[in-house]
Amino acid sequence: MPPYDLCIVIPTLNERENIGLLLEKLRNTLQSVRYEVIVVDDDSPDGTAAFARRLTRTQDNLRVLHRIGRRGLSSACIEGMLATSAPFIAVIDADLQHDETILPEMYRRIRSEDLDLVVGSRNIAGGSMGEFSNWRLRLSHLGRRLSGVERHASLTDPMSGFFVIRRSYFDRVAHRLTGTGFKILLDIVLSSEGRACIGEVPYCFRLRQHGQSKLDLIVGLEYLELILDKLIGRYVSIRFILFALVGALGTVVHLLLLGALLKVEHRSFVDSQTCATGIVMILNYIMNNSLTYRDRRRRGAAFLFGMFTFCLACSLGVVANVAISSEAFRHGVPWAVAGVTGLLFSGIWNYGVTAMTTWRQTRRSTEHRAERRAQASALVEDTPIPSPVTEVALHSKVSS
């Protein structure tokens, strides 16, 4: 028999102001349940992991997984769920937007009704999106339609990140999970081979009290990545698809620039081609740095050095492209096929070489990050460990 009946997994990134409050709310809500809490922190610059570790000195049921060099809510949840032996696992955000008071009902239903999942839903009677802005409401509904979740389960809120899952069900889908982005519930449901047995409990989504929202364009892109991975991820790398899409957009921009320089500015072809190529290389680098390799994004001096290595690698790819396509054309291959062959080779070359050079993890960047995290941890160590009562009172005073 496991020591705990329920495990609460809390993924965190810069949630130092919220984590203590949430832990206290869980204590008040789950007094009759034997539960543990696993905080999975993605090396937060604000010292969330160090703060949570200090709280473990006074809370026996609290553990902290501090991830270095890995980031993402979904993958953090997966690691947290794999780290417990509890038969039931709950996932809840640390930002206090999920209503922890419905956890006992969610836990009761998954046990008594033999369900695989119980989801906190904002889209059934008794639930609401709270004070969500209209554009976020529309985005949530669009994501639901794009997901195709209806083929796998009857689920009104697949974008929810608040749920309780049966351990045996999680074990069945764990090896098929993508672990990309923020929508871990959708990842789990879409990874199920059959239809999952799901119950829903209504709740009202709250406003964030402390810290900043993580919702931005990148989150939307990661959602599309998750959908693509479920469709074609077994055949081709999603990162390569993003790299190729950036390259395709760059090709369009290149042709527009080339035409403008030739027809409007009346430059020579060599000058126009050289100028367009240089501009598009820099544009491709910026887009890949922001989107394709956002988890390894280069900043500051590393951004400039990365641009240099990217342009160097792509220049070699251009040489290989011309050589291969010219040789193919010389041997009677149709010009279109020869051209595409050269493009495919250079695309694979550019992707492989830049992944190993431009966006590889460098020791210097790792050391710089470690120094900043150490400074944040030192600030945490200088503050006394709050008792549960003191902690709530302190946050209440700040909020007022």
Co-location of 34 and 161 in the same domain: yes
Tens digits of residue pLDDT in 74-99 = 899 999 999 999 999 999 999 999 99
Tokens of 50: 């160090």
The total of structural domains in the chain comes to 2
Tens digits of residue pLDDT in 147-173 = 555 555 678 888 788 999 999 999 999
Co-location of 127 and 252 in the same domain: no
Co-location of 190 and 275 in the same domain: no
Of 4-8, 174-178, 192-196, where does the model show the most confidence? 4-8
Is 225 a member of any domain?
no
Co-location of 185 and 246 in the same domain: no
CA distance 56 to 45: 20
Find all residues with CB under 8 Å of 370, minimum gap 6, and list them. none
Overall pTM surpassing 0.75 (yes/no): no
Q: Which of 214, 249, 274 is the last residue of a domain?
A: 214
Residue 40 has what pLDDT?
A: 97
Of 291-300, 335-344, 355-364, where does the model show the most confidence? 291-300
Quote the strand ranges of the chain, DSSP E: 6-12, 35-41, 62-66, 88-91, 117-121, 163-166, 198-202
Print the domain residue range for 133.
6-214
**332 band by pLDDT with thresholds 50, 70 and 90:** confident
The residue-averaged pLDDT of 226-254 equals 77
Can you say how many angstroms the Cα of residue 167 is from the centroid of all Cα atoms in its chain?
23
Co-location of 187 and 275 in the same domain: no
Burial class (CB within 10 angstroms; exposed 0-12, middle 13-18, buried 19+) of 25: middle
Is 154 a member of any domain?
yes
Co-location of 280 and 184 in the same domain: no
Is 232 a member of any domain?
no
Reading across the β-sheet that carries 117-121, which strands appear in turn? 62-66, 35-41, 6-12, 88-91, 163-166, 117-121, 198-202
Residue 325 has what pLDDT?
A: 79
Stretch among 125-139, 151-165, 211-225 having the lowest mean pLDDT: 211-225
Contact 147, 154 (CB under 8 A): no
Cα separation values, 266 from 25, 223, 254, 277, 381, Å: 69, 44, 16, 17, 66
Find all residues with CB under 8 Å of 279, minimum gap 6, and list them. 253, 257
Co-location of 169 and 33 in the same domain: yes
Is 245 a member of any domain?
yes
Is 389 a member of any domain?
no
Phi-psi region at 377: left, alpha or beta (left = phi > 0; alpha = psi -120 to 50): alpha
Co-location of 143 and 24 in the same domain: yes
Is 391 a member of any domain?
no
Co-location of 156 and 15 in the same domain: yes
Find the CATH number of the domain harbouring 132: 3.90.550.10
**Percent of the chain scoring above 70 in pLDDT:** 76
The residue-averaged pLDDT of 283-302 equals 87
Q: Which of 345, 360, 375 is the last residue of a domain?
A: 360
Is 382 a member of any domain?
no
Can you say how many angstroms the Cα of residue 299 is from the centroid of all Cα atoms in its chain?
19
Is 138 a member of any domain?
yes
Co-location of 168 and 247 in the same domain: no
Co-location of 205 and 243 in the same domain: no
Co-location of 109 and 245 in the same domain: no
